[in-house]
Structure 1
Amino acid sequence: MFKKLDITDLLSSLDGWEAVEGREAIFKRYTFKDFDACFNAMTKIAAKAEEMNHHPEWFNVYNRLEVTLTTHDANGVTSYDKELAEFIDQTCA
């Protein structure tokens, strides 16, 4: 089960993530060398998200990936978002 987190505390523990204006969510952009590298990262993220049953909101164009995380059931950010954000950062490094 998830634990609801304070968004300010969460952001202080993550590198480069920012608050989404008007909602309890966090956001980050990634740029890859090409579409293949971006899609490979998305495939790994999708597998982790499915394993967690916690799915990102994301948008992809060519080598760019934009990710928004929130826990809809909690109406805010939770330990699930922290875990997935850390995995995404590791995958996209």
Structure 2
Amino acid sequence: MQILDENEIKSKLEELEGWEYKDDAIHTSFQFENFKEAFSVMVRIAFEAEAQQHHPNWTNVYNELQISLSTHDAGGVTHKDFKLARSIEDIVDAGE
């Protein structure tokens, strides 16, 4: 898998609201009503990540979920990261 250059990454980020590129990864965060809602979304993302065989770096504190995506095997951001990011967006949007 080939890493994307910074121009490709910035172009693809225009299709995703609230995501940014830094430290060789794309990042976002979400806030939910409470811990239960945040954890519920995390479970759905986990199943999708497993299906795609691509797993996020993430942290959760109460109702906030922070996510970072990069393709570790490739050493940077690839199309796999944007595919999972779009899936994450769909999961979060479906829960609202």
User: Please, what TM-score do these two structures have when normalized by structure 1?
Assistant: 0.88
Alignment partner, residue 90 of structure 2: 90
Alignment partner, residue 17 of structure 1: 19
Amino acid at match of 1:46: A
Q: Which runs of 4+ in 1 moved over 2 A?
A: 2-6
Give the 5 Å matches for 1:2-81. Answer: 2=1, 4-5=3-4, 6-20=8-22, 23-81=23-81
What is the Cα deviation at residue 13 of structure 1?
A: 2.0
Amino acid at match of 1:44: R
Query: Which runs of 5 or more residues in structure 1 are unaligned?
Result: none
Aligned Cα root-mean-square deviation (Å): 1.3
Instruction: Give the match's secondary structure for 1:74.
Output: coil
Give the fraction of aligned pairs with identical amino acids, expressed as a percent.
Answer: 42
State the Cα deviation string for residues 28-65 of structure 1 (Å, max 9, x = none).
Answer: 01000111111110001001111111100000011100
Instruction: Tell me the number of residue pairs that the alignment of Structure 1 and Structure 2 aligns.
Output: 90
Instruction: Give the match's secondary structure for 2:38.
Output: helix
Query: Which runs of 5 or more residues in structure 2 are unaligned?
Result: none
What is the Cα deviation at residue 11 of structure 1?
A: 1.3
Instruction: Give the match's secondary structure for 2:73.
Output: helix
Instruction: Give the match's secondary structure for 1:29.
Output: strand
User: Please, what TM-score do these two structures have when normalized by structure 2?
Assistant: 0.86
